[in-house]
Structure 1
Amino acid sequence: MFSRSLDWLSARFPSFGALYAWAKRRRRRLIIGFVMLMHTLGAISSIQAVMSTRTPQGAIAWAISLNTIPYIAVPAYWVFGQSHFDGYEFLRYREMLSESSLKYDTIRKLREKGLIFEPQTERQAHQQKLLERLAMMPILRSNDVDLLVDGQATFDAIVDGINSAKDYILFQFYILRSDGLGNRLKDALLARARQGVKVYMLYDAMGSKAISAEYVLELQEAGVKVAAFEPASHGWRHRLRMNFRNHRKIVVIDGKEAFVGGHNVGDEYVGKHPTLTPWRDTHVAVRGPIVLATQVSFAEDWMWVTGDRLSLNWEPEPAPKGEAVAACFPTGPADELETGTLLMLDAINMAQKRIWIASPYFVPDAQFVSTLQLAALRGVDVRVLIPENNDDSLVDLTSYSYLEELGKAGIPMYRYQPGFMHQKVMLIDDDLATVGTANFDNRSMRLNFEITLLFRDAVFASQVEAMLEDDFTHSRLVSTKEYSQRRLPFRFSVQAARLLAPVQ
């Protein structure tokens, strides 16, 4: 059938016929040449993989596949195998070295107004030094934080914030849909734009691939600046880099209030998913100097995408109420170090009483498993909360592989029963909590651009504790027998799925 089609094309198009005849005469040479080319590219790519892949298991997997099945592995490596985002890193350091660095100017103003937290003990001083190096911003005091549980509370608060904007709105989401919730937020943004408020919208091109052109056009016609985070649009070096996604969810109002957390913009986040409703998620609203640290993350993303430096409010002010100490960690593949990994490891290591982890995609690598085991062995109350009903079957299968390892150290794993749990939250001891966009997997630690807010505040931590306690009451404790006593095909599938953890 295929041969007849080629013969038909050759008869209709003489130039194609000549090329086809040439290829038939040299078919053997072409096949040999193609095989040699792919194996050569595979060998060269495997050297790069060994030298640059961030995990040993990832380097081994790429090296073997690139040399054994290069016809599949070479294109896959060029698309998914890169682990460092050099263009963004160059822009960031160029900006930091400039005479008018917004980051350095902001830090100077924060110090002048006494809004940088001063550690009270030697242990706090060591901890603060580490966290500030990871955040590339100081730890800040005089912040106010509201815990927003689930979609209705979150998007009501965001719409109220949008409606109160006087100067500008920064609006960034990984997933932006042109559905009911998307239209509600669009209408709110349009109303403010028509009143002269500057609106900047940034979404990830892959996560928001279903957004309609009409949706974007309507915003642009009203004066909203809209941009898509798309590495492939930044020259040949990024042309095939589909692996790096901007997973951040940020809304900033006039540099005075910000919203960060797990929610994207889609009807499923307000309880309208056909199979995974109710959708369980967590966001926070913050006021105070931490807003400016959050704003830096958006400004850097916007500058990389558009080349424009935004004119924003960089005057820090203490929150009207509240004395929460807070830090902002915008992590990603452009960081010199694996800041996402280091932040999570440090959070586990600093725990003295407890660490409760809620994550929809719990696929930790060996170092996290060992660190959690060590925490449990020194008497820390370690708990892991994952969804019973996951929207990713591979992640769900992989989660069973951790039951025995965690169980040996006495670490319980809970599965949240109603709907789908999508929150990314940690509670550490009685006064520390994190809320953000990062999952407990390789993609969030090494490949995605994420943002996490950390709070030292006993009142806020008690609210997070009450929220998670309620989640545990709607969850079931998973027995290790759910893995160990299953049939061999299931256990083999679980372990095979775990081998794919670096790409999950």
Structure 2
Amino acid sequence: MNSNRDWTRGNALELLENGEEFFPRVFDDIAEAKREVIIETFIWYDDEIGRQLRDALVTAAERGVQVDVTVDGYGSAPLGKAFVASLTEAGVRLHVFAPLPPILGVQANLFRRLHRKLVVIDQRVAYVGGINYSDEHMRYYGEKSKQDYATRVTGPAVDDIHRFCREAIGHPTPQGRRNLRGLLRWLPSKWSHPESDAQVLLVTRDNHNHRTAIEAMYRLGLRSASRDIVLLNAYFFPGYRFLRAMRQAVERGVRVRLVLQGEPDKAYVKFAASTLYDHLLNIGVEIWEFMERPSHAKVAVMDDAWATVGSSNLDPFSLSLNLEANLFVRDTSFAGELREKLEALLAERCVQITRDAVARRHPIWHVWRWVGYHLLRHFPKLASLIPVKPTMLKTIEDPDTDLGTGPGPRTLGHSPRPESPAEPDPQNTQR
């Protein structure tokens, strides 16, 4: 699967913050769909937001729209038979990545998860980001609601995202279909919105041909920055090369600010990241913690025109095991808007971690830091040694099926093995 293509120009982008901005835009676009809706998501729950998505897709399918939804067999395992039946009976094609029945009531398929969050509608509009379909992304969920971002895209980049999503479900777009017809489709929007000229590149990570693609794009941004870098990431535990690129940026005089979770929904998230605090402060990186609620964000902005929004954390699971997708952008307007939001976040809802705060750690902490870093960094390599069956994408055709008991008989090709673990319990899922 050719998942990483060339930069495209002439795109219009809309930055969406949290579920309050994201879900209405997606649902409205689905309501206007005439031919096709394709969705990939890690988590889809049977809650208020999950049912709104279900109803929107069922309504679209009933009016003749072809609807394909791919969910992860671990992240979306709680979906029950009634929920699944309402989709399949309406004609929605529901694909499951790596379904596996629970073992003694426990979901055992923890590794290589499908973690992408993508939407394409009528090959006209696409969404790329980190927001799942659950109430967790709405403020009414309470103090554990998640901070996150997504991007709505129109323009030539949609063709690349569409082609990737079609290939992922085993229905590739015929070669040459984009060509002149695709170009002509986007020219009118370029003429009517001449200011919309963002350069966009979809970059995906898999376990076959693009193992380090997203991390490499991040490092390229770190190496090219000359003034200011802000990284907001939910799960931060990168490798040596990433840390070296951060150090080299600081040595060039670049201000590097790293925004991590201060109030995570899982304690180990903060523990893992904090094992790096001493080193990060030593190399001159500013560490900030988002204190308002859990952060699920995976975004960055560097200098005036480089930005990314997507599903990939900067941890061993996302960088070494999961299927991920990030949108990389070169555009001053979009980067400026993202920077403005991040600066407001830093000023109003974050606290800076100082050298004094880290220095008060007990000496035994530094032993745990060293042990923890090496165990976590090498964990994906150890996990990759565990024999696994080829990961398959399967389509549920039997309405009397839930995601925890497996798929129907249709198998659609291979998939670039996916993502990281998150709890299948709606009250306890991390990503």
Corresponding residue for residue 84 of structure 2: 216
Contact 1:362/1:440, CA 8 A, preserved across alignment: yes
- Alignment CA distance shift 1:209-1:454 (3 Å): same
Verify: 1:500 aligned to 2:368, yes or no: no
- After superposition, give the CA deviation of every residue in 1:457-482 in whole Å (9 maximum; x if it has no partner): 11111101101001101100001333
Q: Distance in 2 between matches of 1:180 and 1:264?
A: 13
Normalising by structure 1, what TM-score?
Answer: 0.68
Contact 1:398/1:495, CA 8 A, preserved across alignment: no
Q: Distance in 2 between matches of 1:433 and 1:367?
A: 20
Q: Distance in 1 between matches of 2:259 and 2:30?
A: 33
Cα RMSD after superposing both structures = 2.1
Corresponding residue for residue 200 of structure 1: 68
Higher percent of residues as strand: 2
Verify: 1:301 aligned to 2:176, yes or no: no
User: Unaligned stretches of 5+ in structure 2?
Assistant: 102-107, 381-431
Amino acid at match of 1:214: A
Given candidates 5, 20, 26, the residue that maps to 1:152 is: 20
> How many residues in Structure 1 have an aligned counterpart in Structure 2?
361
Deviation at 1:337, TM superposition (A): 5.0
Deviation at 1:364, TM superposition (A): 1.3
Contact 1:397/1:497, CA 8 A, preserved across alignment: no
Higher percent of residues as helix: 1
Q: Distance in 2 between matches of 1:182 and 1:477?
A: 36
Q: Distance in 1 between matches of 2:219 and 2:118?
A: 24
Contact 2:74/2:109, CA 8 A, preserved across alignment: no
1:151-170 matches, cutoff 5 A: 151-170=19-38
Corresponding residue for residue 476 of structure 1: 351
Amino acid at match of 1:295: H
Secondary structure of 1:361's aligned partner = coil
Q: Distance in 1 between matches of 2:322 and 2:351?
A: 30
Amino acid at match of 2:152: A
- Alignment CA distance shift 1:336-1:291 (3 Å): closer
Amino acid at match of 2:26: I
Given candidates 212, 234, 249, the residue that maps to 1:338 is: 212
- After superposition, give the CA deviation of every residue in 1:382-404 in whole Å (9 maximum; x if it has no partner): 11001111123222112122222
Larger Rg over CA atoms: 1
- Alignment CA distance shift 1:357-1:226 (3 Å): same
Corresponding residue for residue 265 of structure 1: 133
Corresponding residue for residue 152 of structure 2: 285
Given candidates 97, 115, 120, the residue that maps to 1:252 is: 120
Given candidates 19, 41, 46, the residue that maps to 1:173 is: 41
Given candidates 398, 418, 421, the residue that maps to 2:295 is: 421
Secondary structure of 2:115's aligned partner = coil
1:409-488 matches, cutoff 5 A: 409-473=283-347, 474-488=349-363
Corresponding residue for residue 383 of structure 2: none
Secondary structure of 1:170's aligned partner = strand
Corresponding residue for residue 416 of structure 2: none
Q: Percent identity?
A: 26
Verify: 1:394 aligned to 2:268, yes or no: yes
Deviation at 1:336, TM superposition (A): 5.1
* Greater displacement, 452-461 / 310-319: 310-319
Q: Distance in 2 between matches of 1:377 and 1:179?
A: 48
Secondary structure of 1:374's aligned partner = helix
Q: Distance in 2 between matches of 1:151 and 1:376?
A: 34
Deviation at 1:428, TM superposition (A): 1.3
Corresponding residue for residue 236 of structure 1: none
Q: Distance in 2 between matches of 1:282 and 1:241?
A: 27
Q: Distance in 2 between matches of 1:399 and 1:325?
A: 32
Normalising by structure 2, what TM-score?
Answer: 0.79
Contact 1:427/1:465, CA 8 A, preserved across alignment: yes
User: Unaligned stretches of 5+ in structure 1?
Assistant: 1-91, 93-102, 104-134, 234-239
Secondary structure of 2:133's aligned partner = coil
- After superposition, give the CA deviation of every residue in 1:36-69 in whole Å (9 maximum; x if it has no partner): xxxxxxxxxxxxxxxxxxxxxxxxxxxxxxxxxx
Q: Distance in 2 between matches of 1:354 and 1:274?
A: 33
